[in-house]
Amino acid sequence: MTPANQYLAILHGPNLDRLGERDPKWYGSDTLAIINAEIESLARELGFGTQTFQTNVEGEMIDRLHAIESQCAGVIINAGAWTHTSIAIRDAVSQLPCPVVEVHLSNVYAREPFRHKSVLEDIVVGKILGFGKDSYLLAVRALASRHERSRQE
């Protein structure tokens, strides 16, 4: 059994508040509110609470990362364009006390070369991309089974 106070933090970076209108070819037509609701529902089914957060301001994302407590069972982050550029976000992610999954809606490797580089990929436990909103849902499942395994060890 997962203790009731276990939660997953779901962090969305810049421009992801525009989902639903933004470039549906890459990002689909669901809004961030719809995606968050699906994440919350799956997480609840698997025994986890969720804390969801989106910002377009880099310093706010860094403050949010600093606020993550040790009872956080895992972090799912779609850092948007900061993925490709921000050493400050990387430094904050690298201090987290729990496993982190990097997520992207689109297959960044099928896009412009500047999206092929991630400053996070070597400090996260894994990365899921290209499945639209299912990238987040797969990340929830991956963190839940990793958490269960680590509790059994």
Active site (catalytic) residues: 27, 104
Binding segment toward ligand DQA, per CB under 6 A, in 36-44, 87-95, 100-108, 137-145: 100-108
Question: Least distance from C-beta 141 to ligand DQA, angstroms?
Answer: 18
**Which residues, in sequence order, are bridge partners of residue 77?**
11, 102
Which helix (H) or strand (E) segment holds residue 95: the answer is none
**Closest to 101 in 3D by CA, of 136, 69, 131:** 136
Residue 57 touches ligand DQA, criterion: CB under 6 A: no
Residue that the structure tokens 């299912």 belong to: 134
Question: Least distance from C-beta 82 to ligand DQA, angstroms?
Answer: 8
Spatial distance between the Cα atoms of 149 and 28, rounded to a whole number of angstroms: 33
Residue 110 touches ligand DQA, criterion: CB under 6 A: no
Q: Can you give the binding site for ligand DQA, defined by CB under 6 A?
A: 15, 78, 80-81, 83, 104-106, 108, 115
